[in-house]
């Protein structure tokens, strides 16, 4: 069908608000994903994984602060909330519901093998403690919550670091199991690991990570940035002695910000024995060149948390416009249904029961319209005007075939509908599909 080949690529990115964003987050995720979000044919979802934060952080003020900081960072780096769907996970109340559906198709054995959980067990065992010491059920269930984040929006691509690849594979597995059991509802997501996106070394040369305490804050004021850069570990070679670029954290960080020519110039300076103090000054100026304009926007945003709150609430509404009807479809699929809507298999007289129907018509404006009517003739959905009857017909066909998923996709071609109306429309589409499906045997 035409819609599937021209459908945008859905890319979904989540960050757990459990700390202050650092240059590793910027180079490894934020910079790349914001750039990608303006590419044609890409539909991006950006969210703050605050439910995930509860697994690691039991300090309420820290979660609130970090959520604000990460939201402000994305916006400062150019994320356009008009263009992408930008939201806070906990505002999309459908996500915990989907988490439960997925929980019920996920093997416990699969979760037993999750790296983050296993690492904790191994640590306990190594210390001679009870393997489950300090392991919450939240840590154990982490991959399922993440699966719900991804599958809720039928993301095709999920850009992640290598440590998260296993989680994407698990989400795929959940989607497959669910689809197998209940019909094709989920797109199978794929991890996107961009090897061009450097893993930034931290101050001590190990991967820059909050857990190593070796980070450079992304939006530290100029003086503090300079101080942090001054503390990058180097060897003890004196000015005038040639230096190795290989294994030099300073060099690698520079490379993540600089052009190829700039990098070559520093390589040459290393060979010619640049002093560490001068090299650090070069690095500082180069980072500051890129970060200074972003820092100014970041500071303005941090001073207006109400504005960020407002943006996130609008984003949540946008996300839920997709999540609500999709969840209604899934509820129906698993059997959480309106009892009066007629049973599926074994509904003996279903063929005689009046069915919902589509009505197509032309208005005096010359455009072509349709309505979805319930069994009693009440309108459940009202289309906008189409230039031709064929276009209206295609939209109807999509609704008949893809039901809830098409409801979300065609949102622009339909008059706005509230959650109750969407739920009723979705049930009508399901009922219609069931009534017109070939009867099995009886
Ligand atoms: N677990 C991810 C991290 O800690 C954050 C995250 C939560 C996420 N849900 C997601 C990332 C869904 C991608 C997709 O980095």
Domain boundary assignment for the chain: 8-198+304-324, 219-301, 343-436
**Of 293, 297, 268, which is closest to residue 282 (Cα–Cα)?**
268
Place 231 in a pLDDT band, splitting at 50, 70 and 90. very high
Q: How far is CA 321 from CA 101, 127, 337, 384, 416, in A?
A: 20, 48, 20, 17, 10
Among the ranges given (26-30, 89-93, 371-375), the one the predictor scored with the smallest mean pLDDT: 371-375
How is residue 17 written in tokens? 């608000």
Superfamily covering domain 8-198+304-324: HUPs (3.40.50.620)
When pLDDT is averaged across residues 55-61 and rounded to a whole number, the result is 96
Query: Is the shortest distance between the CB of 14 and ligand 1 below 6 Å?
Result: yes
Does residue 87 have a pLDDT over 60? Answer: yes
* Residue 210 is a catalytic residue: yes
Which residue's CA is the closest to the ligand 1 atom numbered 15? 15
Q: Determine what percent of the chain is predicted with pLDDT higher than 70.
A: 94
CATH of domain 219-301: 1.10.240.10
* Residue 207 is a catalytic residue: yes
Query: Is the shortest distance between the CB of 53 and ligand 1 below 6 Å?
Result: no
CA of 49 to the centre of ligand 1 (A): 7
**Residue 150, C-beta contacts closer than 8 angstroms, at least 6 positions apart:** 12, 158, 168, 171, 189
Query: Is the shortest distance between the CB of 320 and ligand 1 below 6 Å?
Result: no
Atom of ligand 1 nearest to the CA of 12: 14
CA of 392 to the centre of ligand 1 (A): 39
Among the ranges given (68-82, 202-216, 323-337, 421-435), the one the predictor scored with the smallest mean pLDDT: 421-435
CA distance 264 to 259: 9
Place 261 in a pLDDT band, splitting at 50, 70 and 90. very high
pLDDT of the residue at 355: 81
Neighbours of 425 (CB within 10 A): 24
343-436 has which fold?
Double Stranded RNA Binding Domain (3.30.160)
**Of 237, 236, 243, 217, which is closest to residue 228 (Cα–Cα)?**
217
State the pTM of this model.
0.77
When pLDDT is averaged across residues 404-428 and rounded to a whole number, the result is 87
Does residue 3 have a pLDDT over 60? Answer: no
**Of 329, 342, 233, which is closest to residue 280 (Cα–Cα)?**
233
| Annotated active-site residue in 118, 127, 210, 359 | 210
| Annotated active-site residue in 207, 350, 355, 371 | 207
pLDDT of the residue at 6: 64
CA of 422 to the centre of ligand 1 (A): 29
Dihedral over Cα of 211, 223, 204, 127: its sign: negative
pLDDT of the residue at 4: 44
When pLDDT is averaged across residues 74-98 and rounded to a whole number, the result is 98
Query: Is the shortest distance between the CB of 151 and ligand 1 below 6 Å?
Result: no
Atom of ligand 1 nearest to the CA of 142: 1
For ligand 1, pick from 28, 30, 160 the residue to mutate: most ligand atoms within 8 Å of CB. 160
**Residue 206, C-beta contacts closer than 8 angstroms, at least 6 positions apart:** 212, 214
* Residue 123 is a catalytic residue: yes
């Amino acid at each position: 069908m035409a819609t599937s080949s021209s459908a945008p690529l859905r890319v979904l990115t989540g960050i757990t608000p459990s700390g202050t964003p650092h240059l590793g987050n910027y180079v490894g995720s934020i910079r790349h994903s914001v750039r990608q979000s303006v590419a044609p044919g890409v539909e991006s979802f950006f969210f703050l994984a605050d439910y995930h934060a509860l697994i690691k952080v039991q300090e309420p003020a820290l979660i609130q602060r970090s959520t604000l900081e990460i939201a402000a960072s994305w916006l400062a780096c150019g994320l356009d909330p008009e263009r992408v769907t930008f939201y806070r996970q906990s505002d999309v109340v459908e996500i915990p519901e989907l988490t439960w559906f997925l929980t019920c198709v996920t093997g416990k054995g699969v979760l037993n093998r999750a790296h983050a959980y296993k690492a904790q067990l191994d640590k306990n065992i190594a210390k001679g403690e009870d393997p489950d010491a300090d392991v919450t059920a939240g840590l154990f269930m982490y991959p399922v919550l993440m699966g719900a984040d991804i599958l809720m929006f039928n993301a095709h691509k999920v850009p992640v670091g290598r440590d998260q690849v296993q989680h994407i594979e698990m989400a795929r597995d959940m989607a497959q199991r669910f689809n197998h059991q209940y019909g094709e509802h989920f797109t199978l997501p794929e991890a996107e690991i961009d090897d061009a996106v450097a893993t930034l070394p931290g101050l001590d040369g190990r991967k820059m990570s909050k857990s190593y305490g070796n980070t450079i804050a992304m939006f530290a004021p100029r003086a503090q940035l300079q101080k942090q850069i001054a503390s990058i570990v180097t060897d003890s070679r004196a000015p005038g002695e040639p230096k190795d670029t290989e294994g030099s954290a300073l060099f690698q960080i520079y490379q993540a910000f600089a052009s190829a020519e700039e990098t070559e110039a520093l390589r040459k300076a290393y060979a010619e024995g640049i002093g560490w103090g001068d090299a650090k000054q070069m690095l500082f100026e180069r980072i500051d060149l890129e970060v200074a304009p972003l820092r100014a926007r970041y500071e303005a945003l941090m001073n207006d948390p109400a504005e960020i709150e407002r943006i996130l609430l609008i984003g949540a509404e946008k996300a839920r416009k997709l999540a609500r009807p999709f969840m209604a479809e899934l509820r129906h699929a698993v059997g959480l249904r309106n009892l009066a809507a007629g049973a599926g298999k074994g509904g003996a007289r279903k063929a005689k029961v009046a069915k919902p129907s589509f009505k197509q018509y032309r208005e005096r404006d010359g455009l072509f319209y349709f309505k979805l009517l319930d069994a009693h003739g009440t309108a459940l959905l009202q289309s906008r005007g189409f230039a031709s009857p064929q276009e209206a017909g295609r939209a109807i066909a999509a609704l008949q075939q893809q039901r809830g998923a098409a409801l979300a996709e065609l949102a622009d071609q339909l008059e706005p509908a509230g959650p109750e109306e969407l739920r009723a429309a979705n049930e009508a589409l399901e009922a219609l599909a069931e009534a017109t499906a070939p009867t099995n045997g009886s």
